[in-house]
């Protein structure tokens, strides 16, 4: 896929805008959490889905977080996944659906980590790195989780290398999903 630099920049920065697109509305997220969440659906804000896959459904904001890296994430729903038991093979396939084949993209990945969530069962987490000097986001985390018999992917973007506190915050957030 070839995109112009301008369209990639626009698609990357749009989720950080104030959602000023006419007709865009904030709705409840498709799942609940211990934290207050708001959700902007691609259905009400078509520009939000620019340069995203068909599985992309919107952007979730964690209202209680002040730091931008921890506050917002892209949300994907994998409607074709009919399993409640995630494993490495399923998670690797969903990674390809979101980012493309790791052998064909410039992003670098580390090993997928599978951990147990208190409420959601097994969760996959794949760190993704952009080593380019001009990269807006140095690190991303793809988290795949099953909530209420639906499989979601959450892409968290960090403009810096994550810290152990960031990882703990992410795990606490995942444990609080219902």
The pLDDT profile of the chain, 178 residues, written as one tens digit per residue, is 333 333 333 444 444 444 434 445 677 789 999 999 999 988 887 677 676 878 999 999 999 998 888 899 999 999 988 777 899 999 999 999 999 999 999 899 988 999 988 877 899 999 999 988 888 899 999 999 999 889 999 999 999 889 999 989 999 999 999 8
SS (H, E, C) 40-100: EECCCCHHHHCCCCCCEEEEEEECCCCCHHHHEEEEEECCCCCCCCCCHHHHHHHHHHHHC
Q: pTM, whole model, 2 decimals?
A: 0.82
CATH 3.40.50 fits 5-175, yes or no: no
């Amino acid at each position: 896929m070839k995109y112009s630099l301008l369209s990639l920049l626009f698609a990357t920065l749009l989720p950080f805008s104030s959602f000023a697109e006419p007709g865009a509305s904030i709705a409840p997220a498709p799942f609940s959490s211990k934290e207050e969440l708001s959700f902007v659906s691609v259905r009400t804000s078509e520009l939000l889905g620019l340069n995203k896959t068909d599985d992309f459904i919107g952007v979730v904001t964690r209202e209680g977080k002040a730091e931008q890296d921890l506050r917002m994430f892209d949300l994907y729903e994998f409607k074709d996944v009919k399993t409640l038991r995630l494993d490495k093979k399923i998670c690797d396939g969903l990674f390809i659906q979101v980012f493309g084949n790791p052998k064909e993209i410039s992003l670098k990945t580390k090993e997928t980590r599978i951990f147990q969530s208190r409420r959601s069962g097994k969760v996959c987490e794949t760190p993704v790195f952009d080593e380019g000097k001009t990269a807006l986001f140095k690190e991303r985390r793809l988290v795949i989780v099953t909530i209420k018999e639906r499989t979601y992917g959450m892409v968290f973007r960090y403009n810096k290398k994550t810290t152990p506190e960031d990882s703990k915050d992410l795990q606490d957030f995942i444990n609080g999903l219902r």
